[in-house]
Amino acid sequence: MKSPAERAVALTPPYKILFVCLGNICRSPAAEGILHTLVETGGQAAKWNIDSAGIYSGHAGQLPDNRMRVHARRRGYELTHRARPVGESDFSDFQLIVAMDESNIRALRHMAPTLADEAKIVPMISFVRMATRYDHIPDPYYEGSEGFELVLDLLEDGCRNIFETISKQ
């Protein structure tokens, strides 16, 4: 099986990336906002379709968690996405489905209609190059400011790697 980076390199434009976390109010909308900013700043917005969704549908329609929005805004990211649950059509609409942790990966694999769709699921942490003790992107929901800053550090690094890996094709 190809590594996540190899799968990213194999994408063809328009690049269709879906970020997934539990509720779609912290990690995945932050990753979406970061990658959108990188793509727009790099002058490649027309080549990308970036979105995010959650495993849990209870936050559908809500803006991202205010704490994440505040921390992201300090770094220059405006998070305006409205939460939505992952749907079956996401597996056909997106080329790469980037999950924040192992429980998200398990849930997505269970939802995937085909083995080919299951192969689209990759862990976000596999794109993070900075040294970290984490094997996933931790959920900052029950954490303080440090938790949100850590998650943004990890997501910025991972999104930069996704952008650089795909855009240099």
- Token reading at 60: 């559908």
* Given 7, 21, 65, 117, the catalytic residue: 21
CA 144 to CA 70: how far, in whole Å? 12
Of 27, 51, 65, 101, the catalytic one is 27
Tell me, yes or no, if 135 is annotated catalytic.
no
Annotation says 139 is catalytic: yes
CB atoms within 10 A of CB 102: 12
Marked catalytic residue, from 7, 90, 139, 159: 139
At 4, give phi and psi (nearest 5°): -55, -40
| 159 catalytic residue (yes or no) | no
Neighbours of 104 (CB within 10 A): 27
In DSSP notation, 14-44 reads: SEEEEEEESSSSSHHHHHHHHHHHHHHHTT-
Q: Hey, which residues are catalytic here?
A: 21, 27, 139
